[in-house]
Amino acid sequence: MSFADLGLSDELLRAIGDSGYTEPTPIQEKAIPAVLMNKDLVGIAQTGTGKTAAFVLPMIDILGHGRSRARMPRSLILEPTRELAAQVADNFEKYGKYHKLSMALLIGGVQMGDQVKALEKGVDVLIATPGRLMDLFSRGKIMLNDCNLLVIDEADRMLDMGFIPDIEEIASRLPKQRQTLLFSATMPPPIQKLAAKFLTDPKTVEVARPATANINIDQQIIEVRSDKKRDVLRDVLRAEGFKNAIIFANRKTTVRDLYTSLKRSGFAVGQIHGDMEQPARIAEFDRFKNDEITVLVASDVAARGLDVKGVSHVVNFDVPWQPDDYIHRIGRTGRAGAKGTAITLATREDAEAVAQIEKLTGMKIPRTGQAASATEAVEPAEEKPARVPRPARQPKPKHGSREREQPQPERAAEARPAPVQQPLVERELEPADEGGWNGPLPSFLSVGLS
Ligand code: ADP
Ligand code: MG
């Protein structure tokens, strides 16, 4: 399925093309046609699945017809945090570049005066956090009588932050005859109630969470000391049967460091992470597809939606913080009926995260002795950091994509004393001895973004 099949305008398709997206994500595929038909919609899909574009894209086409009036926004998007609101605004700018839509952002921390000025001119899209909107509303600075499209985004997060009463208040001031869209990663009862109260005969589209791993994937855990991870990784990349690999790390700093280190070791390596713009990520990915590189180091953010056939190995250089991510990561191999190997490097501190993964997949992942030499020594107790839970959502400074490798955990992790790193022994690569992985990939290898 391509974006062109969804009924979007040519201008929009052009802007989507410019942004580098080649295919809609499942939630986009399901939601966009319904929104274009002016249906109320409940969209449920886990974090990072592209829910923003699922409403921003059809909204641009809907709002493309008609004009704004002073102080009466034509549509309203509610976001739980100002960072998320800013991301949505970025999305409107990116996809709306061939449309003439006006937009105002009503969030804390921005001069109220400027926001009011923008509103007075009249806007097509108002993006707001509930608190700031209520504030302006109570001062009579804004009228919602003409607002025929309401989006309640990140509804479960709104619930966590105590915004439901505000949302009810706001929704009840909008015209009854309107289109309402609600997006959420989960649907706890209070959100179901909210949907029942403020949506009319909504279509519900849901993308199931991946809960089980593919049986074609041979999963292994290598227990390793953190200062031996790189050595073990090199062994994996040089082992027999290795053809190519995507290596996942939890932080983009690790992605960069690993990339540099592997390159120095002579591997044909590339990297993708959240600091790179989409076109740069795709270019790097194309190098992987075209066999110019056989190792791709990636962060979760950048790797989302990558569809590659013919990847022999996925290596988790770090155990992912969220068990869902594990399934997502290892699913990059073993595609289209092919066999794949997924190797996870786990230190003692990862025991809890590994247990979570095994609980989710309902299976015990075999531990291998492959790295026996690297596991004999125990880690000094003082190196054990407190596990920092990853926040559910995090803002990104630029261009609207979610940055999970950047926020708190990274900072928290970097605040702790650096682990003792052994100097790396960099061996020169001898392609003839590498089990043929440097050779051409089979012809069925194909790559695309899904
Ligand atoms: P959600 O709101 O579901 O948590 P976002 O809308 O923030 O997710 O999108 C997550 C990431 O996916 C962003 O980096 C976004 O740029 C990217 N993305 C969205 N749609 C696509 C697509 N069709 N193809 C590739 N990447 C996409
Ligand atoms: Mg979102």
Per-position DSSP letters for 371-417, written without gaps between them: THHHHSSPPPGGG-PPPPPPPS----SSTT---SSSSHHHHHHHHSP
Residue ending a domain, choose from 206, 233, 266: 206
Of 229, 257, 221, the residue nearest 379 (C-alpha): 229
Residues 194 and 224 in one domain: no
- Cβ-in-10-Å burial (0-12, 13-18, 19+) of 141 comes to middle
Residues 243 and 313 in one domain: yes
Residues 283 and 308 in one domain: yes
Residue 49 Cβ inside 6 Å of ligand 1? The answer reads yes
* 353: Cβ contacts below 8 Å, ≥ 6 apart: 319, 320, 321, 323, 346, 387
Task: Say which residue the tokens 């003409």 belong to.
Answer: 146
CA-to-CA dists, residue 257 to 270, 273, 388, angstroms: 12, 12, 22
Nearest CA to ligand 1 atom 25: 21
For the CA of 25, the nearest atom of ligand 1: 23
Instruction: Evaluate whether residue 16 is within a structural domain.
Output: yes
- Cβ-in-10-Å burial (0-12, 13-18, 19+) of 315 comes to buried
Residues 183 and 230 in one domain: no
Residues 222 and 198 in one domain: no
Q: Cα of 233 to ligand 1 centre, how many Å?
A: 30
For the CA of 46, the nearest atom of ligand 1: 3
**Number of neighbours of residue 302 by Cβ within 10 angstroms:** 27
Residue 184 Cβ inside 6 Å of ligand 1? The answer reads no
Half-sphere exposure of 204 (CA within 13 A, CB side): 10
- Ligand lying closest to the C-alpha of residue 285: 1
Instruction: Evaluate whether residue 300 is within a structural domain.
Output: yes
Residue 252 Cβ inside 6 Å of ligand 1? The answer reads no
How many Å apart are CA 386 and CA 371, to the nearest integer? 25
Question: What CATH number corresponds to the domain at position 311?
Answer: 3.40.50.300
Instruction: Evaluate whether residue 393 is within a structural domain.
Output: no
Instruction: Evaluate whether residue 131 is within a structural domain.
Output: yes
- Ligand lying closest to the C-alpha of residue 400: 1
Residues 81 and 228 in one domain: no
Residue ending a domain, choose from 318, 349, 375: 375
Residue 53 Cβ inside 6 Å of ligand 1? The answer reads yes
Residues 13 and 44 in one domain: yes
pLDDT by position in tens, the chain (length 450): 899 999 999 999 999 999 888 889 899 999 999 999 999 999 998 777 889 999 999 999 999 987 777 778 999 999 998 888 988 999 999 999 999 899 999 887 777 777 788 888 889 999 999 998 998 888 887 888 889 999 999 998 899 889 999 999 999 999 999 999 999 988 888 999 999 999 999 999 998 765 556 678 899 999 999 999 999 999 999 998 899 999 999 999 999 999 999 999 999 999 998 888 878 888 898 899 889 999 999 998 766 666 677 899 999 999 998 888 888 888 888 776 678 999 999 999 999 999 988 887 778 899 985 444 444 443 444 333 444 444 444 443 444 333 344 333 333 333 333 333 333 332 222 222 222 223 332 222 222 222
Hey, is 104 helix, strand or coil?
strand
Instruction: Evaluate whether residue 102 is within a structural domain.
Output: yes
Residues 41 and 190 in one domain: yes
- Ligand lying closest to the C-alpha of residue 302: 1
Residue 73 φ then ψ, to 5°: -60, 145
Instruction: Evaluate whether residue 447 is within a structural domain.
Output: no
Residues 139 and 227 in one domain: no
Instruction: Evaluate whether residue 426 is within a structural domain.
Output: no
Structural domain including 371 reads 217-375
Residue 299 Cβ inside 6 Å of ligand 1? The answer reads no
Q: Cα of 397 to ligand 1 centre, how many Å?
A: 15
Query: Under a CB-based contact definition with an 8 Å cutoff, are residues 281 and 254 in contact?
Result: no
Residues 196 and 284 in one domain: no
Q: How many domains does the chain have?
A: 2
Residue ending a domain, choose from 324, 344, 375: 375
Residues 255 and 166 in one domain: no
- Ligand lying closest to the C-alpha of residue 19: 1
Instruction: Evaluate whether residue 318 is within a structural domain.
Output: yes
Query: Under a CB-based contact definition with an 8 Å cutoff, are residues 93 and 404 in contact?
Result: no
Residue 42 φ then ψ, to 5°: -110, 120
Ligand 2 is an ion; its neighbours by CB within 5 Å are 51-52
Residues 293 and 147 in one domain: no
Q: Cα of 250 to ligand 1 centre, how many Å?
A: 18
Query: Under a CB-based contact definition with an 8 Å cutoff, are residues 289 and 446 in contact?
Result: yes
Residue 401 Cβ inside 6 Å of ligand 1? The answer reads yes
Of 367, 319, 373, the residue nearest 222 (C-alpha): 367
Residue 96 Cβ inside 6 Å of ligand 1? The answer reads no
